Structures are given as structure tokens and as C-alpha cells.
Structure 1
């Protein structure tokens, strides 16, 4: 595995070196004054940049707002001017009847006689029309132009309400009011008053032109404000991007600049820095894992190679060959166990520990597993005590949990001195159950009680000076316990040894 890792690093380094050389060659060949990483972005990218989109959005939104405002103002002003002209025309029509006429809610209170003379008003066309459509009297502009058809055809004129019309008159657009005059036997005639709409129609282009000017100024102001906002927003993002480009596999100590405030960018910066911390930690663990795994594999391989070389130097008796083969078989077994442990951890990291859980009576199960280790404890000069009194049932994978308990019992047997005792106990623990394995060995220092569950950990204490192992058993045990929703930890035993406790939910 070490050779594979070195070859991988060599290939990656070569590829990286060739990539840098290729980039330098391209810069030299093209005569570009910028290296690929610092070259200014092309115009197309700048036009599609976030800053450009912010400015364009500001300008577009302001132009839409100005256009809508200008349209609403123009329509409102046009309606108001037209309503004012209608009111004026109606007032002029009423004034033709004189001051003695009584009005009630805009209507004539009693029939009136048809006026024979009109009262002149500057700029307004006034005419009196009888019930036959003939013009009795007329004054105002364009006297040569005949009245519109609706002013002389009174069949469609309401008897009590004025009719309002818009029509061309004398080459201009006019607004007309036809005011009916009821008589004792029906409609006597009508008063027709017209006024030019030129003041209204000529004002709208001026309002539109003013809106264009206002829109242009607003667009400039919006563009400036958008540029200032984009600068304040994008500048930190660009700084983050520049910093991110400096971060690489071999340069993970670089961190994003800390931004003042509590806005989204500051939160993003904190989150990215925490992510980089976790990534650096993970890579460091990976490097350490590969280094430790390479060391663990190299040791038995060295032993295998050394024994083979020494054995093959000369002819030997069959007993010596047999002893060498037994040594080689032991190292092969060690390599096989190590490979299985590494495979288990790799699968646990990728997809978690696969469990086949079933309901198990904990006391009976723990007793059966512990009894399997009684001969090994006795052979090491110790004594095994089982105290299973939990009375609990638990949902667990018997095979995986046996793997965990086997490892704890093997460790306890390994570190228990001559005449010592290995104790296995089960107890109810709240809604769950705990399984404890104690020994009379040197114990685990408090500073190493968490570290011993790390992969390939070996301390310098008495538990490790005389005993080896792969350093993976406890790490695998913790993965199994956590996969069951439980936990495993170590504490000092009452007698001074180590007490490993596995807690499982009920």
C-alpha cells in the first residue's frame, strides 16, 4: 500500500508539473503578459459577471418604475384635464339658459323655452339646435364648418342628461357636450358646446418627454447606485474567490478573510473556514491512516521476506523448514486480519456498518460469548468472572456485537497479569443496557482514554510497550457500537485496571 501511495504521489506530482509547464509554455507561445491564473477575464465574462447583472437589474427596474409612473401620470393628467373641460362645457351650456332657471341634481326642474341667442365665450363653439336639428343661433370658432351629425340628430339624445362626444371639428380634435332642453310636449331642442382638446393632447408629449428625461437621469442614478452596491457586495466575494484559488491539496492552511458584521457573506466565510478546518483534519487523518497502514503492512512483509531469505541460504533440516513455515503462516494470518479490518473501516466510512439486528436476551448472549474466552484467560494465568444480571433484551446484530466483545475480552486477557482477573458484567442502564469488561492490568491514562479509539493509535504506556496489535480493534468496536445507536468508552476499574463499557439502547 505504501508503494501504491508513493506511486500515486509520483504520478500526481508529474501531472501537476506537466500542467504547470504546459501553462507556462502556452503563456510564452501566445505572448500573453498574464499567467492563466491572473489573466483578466475576457469581455464576454465581464458582461455576464455578477456585478454587471446587479447594475443592469438596477437600471432595468428603475426604467420600468419610471415608465409606469410616467404612464400613470400621463393618463391621470389627461383624464383630469378632460374632466375639467367637460365640466366647463356643461357650465357654459347651463349659462345659456340664464340665471332664473331652477336646477335639481343636475337636471332642469321645469321645462324651459328654447334660447334664440347664444352667449359668446372665447374659444368655445356654442350653438342652439331646435328639435328638428336646425341651428337657431351659433357663435365661436369655425363658423363655416357644419356641426357634427350627433349635434343635429337629437333622436338619440337623452331627455334629461347631457351627452359627451369627441370628434374632429375644423381640423382639430374637439370635445362636445349636447345638453337637452325638455319642453311641455317633449324635447324642445339642445344646446351644443364644443372646446378644442389641443391643450390636452399637446401636453401629453411634453409630459412624455419629461418622463424620458427623468427616466434617463434615474437610469444614471440607478446605474451609479447599482455600481456602488455591486462593488460593496462583489468585492468581498472576489476576495473570497482570490483566497479560494490559493487553497490547494498542499496549501490547506490558508483561510478565508474574516468579514465584519453578521450578514450572509460573513456567515458564509465562517462556514467555509469551518469546512476547510474539517477538510484539513480529514486529509491529515487520511495521510496518517495511509502512513500507519503502510507501516503495519510493511512489518509483516519484512518478516516474511527476512525469514524466506535466511531459510533459502542453505539446506536445512525439515524441523527448521517447518518452524519457518509456521512463522510465515502467523504473519500471513496477521496480514489477513489487518486487511479485513481495513476493509471493514473503509466500508463503514463509505456506507456505514451493515447490521442484521434481532431481539437478543443480553445476559444469555454475553455469557455465551464470554465463556468462549475462558480457556485463553486461563492459559494466560488469569481467571474469568461473569456477572450477567441485566435482565434486558436488546435489538442487536449478534455477529457484529460478538466482534466488539471478542476484541474487548482479547485485550483484557492480553493485559491481565498472572493471577489477575477478567470480569464481564451486564447491568440495566436507564432504558438500555450496559456491558462492562474489566481487567487488572496497568489501566489507561486519563489523557489517552479517548485517543485509544482512534485508528492505529498506540500510546507509550505500559499497555502498549509489551503488547502490539494493529491498533484498529477499538476503532472498529466504536463503529459497531455507534451503528447500534450506542457508545463505548473506557474508565478506570475499581481495582486499578481498565474498564471498557458498552452501552446499548433497549
Structure 2
């Protein structure tokens, strides 16, 4: 597995190295180009200066015995003497046919001039070329035409060795290599420092997470870092720990409550079986014992089903299939199914359903939530009371309200009403077969649909539970 620190160092070195390479190539190529331009310009100026002298005084060529600089003794100025002396070591004069007319004393033999070059100069062009001596030394040469009476009579060639230019470029390359190496070392040291600055907080976080146990869930991480991103990471980690701690507490409490709820029917089962087996019983006595045990088994089955349902709807991925759903037919059909139960308990069950737009929901799970609410309302509403189900469209939401005329709920119970296994009247709830999970399941189902559940109650006047479900917008439907 790759290391982030190694990746940072490698990336920094590659980036700096690439930039240095591009910069060095640019400097070297630019320096070489400028050097060549300088040499060409100097050669051209030298050749043009001497060419003007020859055009003005062509007899200098005819009278020059061996050195053109000797002509400067016949009344020439010091400037002309300097120019001619300078040119005598780097200049040759050829005829348009390519025959040598004059050369400086220090000019060593050159390869023959190619006819193409002579043709170009004869047409009045200035030609630059590169000549290599026998020892391999490069010579830069410029060839220009020299006219007389409007006719090109000579080809003047000025030359300069590139030895010093190449030495200069070689020194520039060495300087660039040394500078690049130094910068690479600095970049490597800087990347190590940056990697340490970046990874130290992450290492602290990793070590703390590796050594954390259940007993340390209450502790929170504090990172001493000047960077905003690490403060955000610390906050996110601590927020995750808050959620994890809350989840662990809820899970532990859930397991404790579930074990406690199962213990009662299991204890009753064990006691009935032990008492029954202590002595011989009649058939009727065995039958009564089996019926009592069957009731406890039914309680255990009901509790297990409720636990499974609660686990599903409160998990990370509730098994809810959201589809366009009309609530009015669902509510009316459900009330028709519960009419006999309400009649048996002598409670009036009515529906006040207005036309509402369709929502995005799962019919089976919403029906389960409504059954839980209606079962509680019918169970805790005394004979002669009423249970009313209202369906309304309120401010972009659909509200399903279940109101009863029962005893109501005391204020101290409201904060815990939707908790697992919470009962307002534990003794009466157990006797009626309740598990204490009905309202928790209702909350889980509604939240899985993106909605909320609320309760309004007053002791002696009854309670009203309201489910608020969102109406999907056009953008939601398209998504």
C-alpha cells in the first residue's frame, strides 16, 4: 500500500524537477539563440564595415600585398586602422567565381566555397553558414556581396570562432545543473517538512482511533494544528464519536430492555412447566397449563416481531419502496378493516378525509404505522369514546392526524414517548399485550419516508398524533 508521505515527496520532486528541466532548457536554448544572434550581428557589422571601405576604395584590394591592414598607413584614420586590423584576422575576399582575392594573415585554409553560396551572394543575398576546421573547431561565417559601379565584384566573408560561445554555453549548462540540483535538494527537504506537517495530525488521529476502546467513547480528540482543514477533520471525527456513543448507548439500552421484556414470559413459562411436572395432573390441568404457556409464547412471538420490525425501519437502509401513493383510499380501507374492532370495544371510529395530492410512500409500511396509532387509540379510549382520523393538505405536506378522547398523556411522559419499550402505564400495558415498541416503530416508518411525527395531548381530554409526510416536488420526481 502506498504511503501518503512518500506520495507527497515524490509528487513534489517530480513537479519541481519537471519545472526545473523546462526552465533550464528554456534558459539554455534562449541563451544559445541570443549568443548566436550576437555573433551573427557582430559578424555582419564587421563585414558591412569592411565592405563599405572596399566599395569606396577598391584600390585597397589591388595594392594589398599580404595584409589589408597595411593600407591604413597611407593617411587612414586610427578608427579605420583598428577596423582593418580587426578584420584582417577574420576576413576573406573572393571573386564572384570563388577565387581567393585576399585573406588575412591569420586565416587558415578553409574548405572550398560551394557554388550554391556563391550564387546566393551573386544575387545580392547575405548568407550565414557554419564551417568546421580540420581540428573540428566550429566557425561562424557570413558572406556578403561587394559592389563596384552597381555590379557585384567581390564576395566578402567574415568569420568568427564559436569556441568562446560554446565555452560560455557549457558554463551556463553547468551552472544550471548545479542550481537545479540545489533546488531539488531544497524541494526534497521542503516536501519532507510539508509531509510531516500534513501527516502528523492524521497520525495522531489514527493512533487515537486504534487505541480507543468502549471505555474511551466519552473522550474527544484535540489536534494542535494551524490548518482549518484539520480543525474540520477533528470536528467531524468528534461528531462521529458523538453519534457512535449515542448509538452504543441506544443499542445497549435496547438489548437490556429486550432481555428484560423477554425475561418475564420466559420465567412464567419455566414456572408453569416446573409446577406442572412436580406431580401427576389431570387432563384438564395439563390443558390449562398449556394454554397459559401458549399465551406466554404468543407474547414472545409478538415481541420478536416488533423487534424485527423496529430493527428494519430504524436501520441504515429501511426496506421502504417509495412510489406514488394516494392516502385517502388507504385510510378509508384501513378504517373499514378496524370497524369491527372499534365496535367490539364500543368506540366510535370516524374518518374526516379531504382530497390530498399523492405522496411518495410505501403503502404497507404506512399502513403499519397507522395500525399502531389506531390500536393505541382504541385500546386506551374508554367505551363510548371517539377516535377520529383526519387527512389534510397543509403547507406542502400531507398530515394524517389520529385523535382520541381517552385519558391523555401526562407531560412528564412526552419526552420519552417514542423511545424503545417506554410505557406510560407499564402494568396496564403489559396486561393489554403491549410491547412498548409501537410508537418507536411509527417514528421509524415516518422518518424513513422523510416525514415527522408529533403529539398533542391534554390530561382528561385525549391525545392527537400527527404524521406529516412531504409532497414530492417536480425535481424530486424527475430524480
- TM-score of the pair, normalised by structure 1: 0.77
Equivalence for 1:359: 326
Q: Point out the more displaced range, 404-413 or 85-94.
A: 404-413
Q: Is the contact made by 1:420 and 1:440 (CA closer than 8 Å) also made in structure 2?
A: no
Report the alpha carbon displacement of residue 399 of structure 1 after superposing the two structures with TM: 4.5
Distance 1:137 1:152 in 2: 21
How do 1:234-249 residues align onto structure 2 when only pairs under 5 Å count? 234-249=199-214
Equivalence for 1:306: 271
Q: Is the contact made by 1:59 and 1:223 (CA closer than 8 Å) also made in structure 2?
A: yes
Q: Which has a greater percent of helix?
A: 2
Q: Is the contact made by 2:54 and 2:60 (CA closer than 8 Å) also made in structure 1?
A: no
Tell whether 2:410 aligns with 1:439. Answer: no
Equivalence for 2:342: 374
Tell whether 2:52 aligns with 1:87. Answer: no
Q: Is the contact made by 2:144 and 2:157 (CA closer than 8 Å) also made in structure 1?
A: yes
Tell whether 2:183 aligns with 1:215. Answer: no
Q: Is the contact made by 1:159 and 1:181 (CA closer than 8 Å) also made in structure 2?
A: no
Distance 1:219 1:287 in 2: 57
Distance 1:358 1:219, change over 3 A: closer
Q: 5+ unaligned residues in a row in structure 2: which ranges?
A: 69-83, 472-479
Find the partner of 2:30 among 53, 76, 79: 76
Q: Is the contact made by 2:403 and 2:462 (CA closer than 8 Å) also made in structure 1?
A: no
Distance 1:152 1:141 in 2: 26
Distance 1:203 1:412, change over 3 A: same
Distance 2:177 2:370 in 1: 84
Find the partner of 2:388 among 419, 424, 431: 424
Find the partner of 1:413 among 378, 386, 396: 378
Report the alpha carbon displacement of residue 75 of structure 1 after superposing the two structures with TM: 1.9
Partner SS for 2:238: helix
Q: Is the contact made by 1:361 and 1:394 (CA closer than 8 Å) also made in structure 2?
A: no
Equivalence for 1:285: 250
Distance 1:428 1:67, change over 3 A: closer
Tell whether 2:348 aligns with 1:384. Answer: yes
Tell whether 2:315 aligns with 1:341. Answer: no
Report the alpha carbon displacement of residue 505 of structure 1 after superposing the two structures with TM: 5.1
Distance 2:24 2:60 in 1: 46
Distance 2:399 2:381 in 1: 25
> For residues 19-49 of structure 1, what are the alpha-carbon distances to aligned partners after superposition, in whole Å with 9 as ceiling and x for unaligned?
xxxxxxxxxxxxxxxxxxxxxxxxxx9xx64
Find the partner of 2:8 among 49, 54, 64: 54
Report the alpha carbon displacement of residue 320 of structure 1 after superposing the two structures with TM: 2.6
Q: Is the contact made by 1:114 and 1:188 (CA closer than 8 Å) also made in structure 2?
A: no
How do 1:266-285 residues align onto structure 2 when only pairs under 5 Å count? 266-285=231-250
Tell whether 2:66 aligns with 1:66. Answer: no
Equivalence for 2:76: none
Partner SS for 2:465: strand
> For residues 444-485 of structure 1, what are the alpha-carbon distances to aligned partners after superposition, in whole Å with 9 as ceiling and x for unaligned?
42x533422222223xx4x33432221111122223334445
Tell whether 2:129 aligns with 1:162. Answer: no
Find the partner of 2:98 among 107, 110, 133: 133
Distance 1:299 1:384, change over 3 A: same
Distance 1:482 1:158, change over 3 A: farther
Partner SS for 1:315: coil
Distance 1:191 1:303 in 2: 126
Equivalence for 1:226: 191
Distance 1:139 1:265 in 2: 77
Distance 1:454 1:317 in 2: 45
How do 1:136-215 residues align onto structure 2 when only pairs under 5 Å count? 136-143=101-108, 145-150=109-114, 154-157=118-121, 159-169=123-133, 171=135, 172-182=137-147, 187-215=152-180
Report the alpha carbon displacement of residue 312 of structure 1 after superposing the two structures with TM: 1.7
Report the alpha carbon displacement of residue 135 of structure 1 after superposing the two structures with TM: 0.9
Partner SS for 1:157: helix
> For residues 345-391 of structure 1, what are the alpha-carbon distances to aligned partners after superposition, in whole Å with 9 as ceiling and x for unaligned?
3333264234587535356335414423224423xxxx425252534
